[in-house]
Amino acid sequence: MRVLGVDPGLTRCGVGVVEGVAGRPLTMLGVGVVRTPAGADLGHRLVVLEQGLEQWLEEHRPEYVAVERVFSQHNVRTVMGTAQASAVALLCASRRGIPVALHTPSEVKAAVTGSGRADKAQVGAMVTRLLRLAAPPKPADAADALALAICHIWRAPAQNRLQQAVALHATKGRTA
Annotated binding site for Mg(2+): which residue ranges?
7, 68, 141
* CA dist., res. 35 & res. 17, Å (int): 17
User: Interface with a second copy includes 37 (CB under 8 A)?
Assistant: no
Q: Is 41 a catalytic residue?
A: no
* Piece of the chain touching a second copy by CB under 8 A; list 27-35, 71-79, 105-113, 163-171: 71-79
* Piece of the chain touching a second copy by CB under 8 A; list 24-32, 76-84, 119-127, 142-150: 76-84
* CA dist., res. 61 & res. 84, Å (int): 23
Within 123-152, the residues that bind a second copy by CB under 8 A are none
CB of 99 to a second copy, least distance (A): 8
CB closer to a second copy out of 40 and 165:
40
CB of 24 to a second copy, least distance (A): 28
Task: Please state whether the peptide bond connecting residue 105 to the residue before it is cis, i.e. omega within 30 degrees of 0.
Answer: no
User: Interface with a second copy includes 83 (CB under 8 A)?
Assistant: yes
CB closer to a second copy out of 101 and 140:
101
- What residues make contact with a second copy under the rule CB under 8 A? 41-44, 46-47, 50, 70, 72, 76, 79-80, 83-88, 90-91, 93-95, 100, 102
